[in-house]
Structure 1
Amino acid sequence: MTSPSLWQPFTLGRVELPHRLALAPMTRNRANPDGTPGPLVATYYGQRASLGLVITEGTQPSDDGQGYPNTPGIYTPAHIVGWSNVADAVHAEGGALFIQLMHVGRMSHPDNTTHHRQPVAPSAISADQDMFTATGPQKTPVPRELSISDIETTIADFRHAAASAIAAGADGVEIHGANGYLLHQFLSPNSNHRADQYGGSVENRSRFVIEVAAAVAEEIGADRVGIRLSPSMPLGGINEGDIESVRTQYTHLVGELATLNLAYLHVHHVGDDELLRSFRDVWPTAVLVVRYGRTREQIADDIDADLADIAPLGQFALANPDVVERLRNDAPLNDVDPTTLYGGGETGYTDYPTLARV
């Protein structure tokens, strides 16, 4: 049986949540080629609205923010219309929608974007990763280093995307500062070799993340903004150094972000519970924690240990649109079909059976 702590209501920013579960952001590559989410996307998120807090897949704030094929955007009028249908579907089922703003930085390939330009990053250092493209896996190229003017434009892009999300009816946004993407690239010394105010020291490497968060909070209200971080996460060729280096970097960053009074901090956690506890001690609002490989019996462990307020679900929610009902009733869970995770249509997306259909 699941822990009783999962079923306690919670206030997050401006929204009232019925319990402590949420939908974790997961890329599904099912937007239209122009980045507009279509009707199937609305169905998918509406099906999972019983999770309360629905955090969407990574959604690019600009053309340069795209890395993978058929990922959604939130910066054009068409995008706003598409996402408004998603927001309506989620709200109709009683959920709250936060759109994750994800700029991939160097984790891109020109073949996957409409403009076919070189990717951008803090420094001209390739991630040296295999990137899926229409013609098969290709290595990520060497990116173009962002100028100071480019950085200012990128911050403005995040601001505009956040405003667009609210215009679409979303309840808020989550800034993706994790998993090897642009904000994480600024934080990591092996991807950020800059010699200006955005590189070098811990304070300088943190600056871009803080400025993005401050701009988005100013634009739509801090209580509509979450941020995701992943200390020590090696995705995308990131290497943040030894444990003490990571703790120094993130203690500073989280301390500065805490002063913005954002709605929540979302930690993709890879094992340093001492660092996680330090976040909990300084963060003034909600903390969300997701870990790889949790069993259903472990979902509430971080809540019960007072390390988190909310436990976002990934694959459990992907394969079980009614995962909340299944957990409440100790019912069996569907297994994920790994062949249908990325791209395609309704198969492995909106056709997982519910208990009522079994």
Structure 2
Amino acid sequence: MSQSNDSAVLFSPFRLGEIELKNRIVMAPLTRNRATRGSDAPNALNVEYYRQRAGAGLIVTEGTQISQQGQGYIWTPGIYSEAQIAGWKAVTDAVHAEGGKIITQLWHVGRVSHASLQPGNGAPVAPSAIQAKTKTYIESGFAEVSQPRELGLDEIPGIIADYVRAAENAKAAGFDGVELHGAHGYLLDQFLRDGSNARSDAYGGSIENRVRLVLEVVEAVATVFPKGRIGVRISPVSPANDARDSDPQALFGHLVEKLSAAGIAFIHVVEGATREARDYLPFDYLALRKAFKGAYIANNGFTRDLAIETLAEDCADLIAFGRLFIANPDLVERLKRDAPLNTPDVATFYGGDARGYTDYPALAGKAA
């Protein structure tokens, strides 16, 4: 194949389950902490941010908490109130008007939270009462996460019900589908890993038990969206938020086989350590690719050349870009032309206003 044919696949249409995409470029979920203060509802600034980036084949929204209990950081958007649904409806309308597709990432942070964000200043919940060695972002800045409490067996159906309500709200808000956040040491990932799950009931111990909650949430959310509009994000070896497991290859191999059998549209795999090396720990991602009959979205540290090479070698179906989308609202066009890329301003990643959010220049110096 010529180089031009190799690069063409990145910009070719793709059918992701039941969702028709105009190219194979995915905007990865990116926490930006710019929801409306007080209501955690998306606002006009968020609408413009996503509208600018609708050139992506698929946008996965920033992590969106399914309940107040599911929130781990200040000013992140939710999808459990009428104001939040209305805010997201304005976002999806704007993206669809630009010819884009958008799904929401349903998020429960579990133990990666702070009492100041929880209902009644309570303890965050987790599979086990093991405090994560990590920080979160609260009104005063970064702070150590709070000591969590173990979820009672009788509370788990309520968590699953929160996912279902969030999916119903996502449908009402006009989303094309949902991604379950099963990565980066948040609640579903906490249940998966033996470093955070020390339970001795049906949700702990064996790998089969530890994957149970993820699979139950998938089936529950599938009562709202068809499975062709559902995906799961995983990060097998990323140490984000103190995520640890004694045998990630066996764990995620089993999980992906079960997700394949469940018939969901995609898995979204963070290869390597988040924001760090792709070869952080030895792991056979190709084994996951082969075990899963749906689409494989590869994520983490992709350049234009690596994305083209990965698709050409059939190691993934779609490529997700994160930080490059922060600074390049017209990233798809820049990749197509192999044009220079804007550099992201790290100081404006979390919280703030339009600066470093909607004011990055498009090609030719015009606002996107």
- Bucket of the pairwise TM-score, normalised by the shorter protein: over 0.9
Contact 1:68 1:113 survives alignment (8 Å):
no
Q: CA deviation at 1:275?
A: 2.8
1:65 paired residue among 36, 61, 70 = 70
Q: CA deviation at 1:113?
A: 4.3
1:262 paired residue among 261, 264, 278 = 264
Equivalent position of 1:112 in the other structure: 117
Contact 1:177 1:229 survives alignment (8 Å):
yes
Equivalent position of 2:220 in the other structure: 215
Equivalent position of 2:254 in the other structure: 252
Matched residues in 2 for 1:43 and 1:113: separation?
Answer: 29
Equivalent position of 2:132 in the other structure: 127
| 1:5 maps to 2:9 | yes
- CA-based RMSD: 1.5
Equivalent position of 2:32 in the other structure: 28
Matched residues in 2 for 1:257 and 1:227: separation?
Answer: 8
Structure 2 counterpart of 1:164, one-letter code: N
Matched residues in 2 for 1:67 and 1:196: separation?
Answer: 26
SS in 1 for 2:353: coil
Structure 1 counterpart of 2:290, one-letter code: D
SS in 2 for 1:220: coil
Equivalent position of 1:90 in the other structure: 95
Matched residues in 2 for 1:212 and 1:176: separation?
Answer: 11
Equivalent position of 2:287 in the other structure: 278
Contact 1:189 1:240 survives alignment (8 Å):
yes
Equivalent position of 2:296 in the other structure: 287
1:291-302 mapped onto 2 (5 Å cutoff): 291-292=300-301, 294-302=302-310
Q: CA deviation at 1:273?
A: 7.8
SS in 2 for 1:190: coil
For each residue in 1:132-176, what CA deviation from the matched residue of structure 2 results, as whole angstroms up to 9, or x when unmatched? 222233221210111112111001100110111011000001000
Contact 1:52 1:94 survives alignment (8 Å):
no
Q: CA deviation at 1:78?
A: 1.3
| 1:323 maps to 2:325 | no
Unpaired runs of 5+ residues, structure 1, are: none
Equivalent position of 2:106 in the other structure: 101
Matched residues in 2 for 1:145 and 1:114: separation?
Answer: 16
1:156 paired residue among 153, 158, 161 = 161
For each residue in 1:291-343, what CA deviation from the matched residue of structure 2 results, as whole angstroms up to 9, or x when unmatched? 23x33321223212212100011111110001111111121110000000010
Contact 1:20 1:311 survives alignment (8 Å):
yes
Query: Bigger shift: 253-262 or 134-143?
Result: 134-143
Structure 2 counterpart of 1:249, one-letter code: L
Matched residues in 1 for 2:142 and 2:320: separation?
Answer: 30
For each residue in 1:104-143, what CA deviation from the matched residue of structure 2 results, as whole angstroms up to 9, or x when unmatched? 0000002234642210000000002222222233221210
The percentage of counterpart residues that share the same residue type is 46
Q: Structure 1's 356 and 115: CA in aligned 2 closer, same or farther, altered over 3 A?
A: farther
Q: CA deviation at 1:186?
A: 0.5
Contact 2:64 2:78 survives alignment (8 Å):
yes
Contact 2:29 2:62 survives alignment (8 Å):
yes
Unpaired runs of 5+ residues, structure 2, are: 273-278
SS in 1 for 2:194: coil
Normalising to structure 2: TM-score of the pair? 0.93
| 1:145 maps to 2:150 | yes
Q: Structure 1's 11 and 273: CA in aligned 2 closer, same or farther, altered over 3 A?
A: farther
- Count of aligned pairs between the two proteins: 354
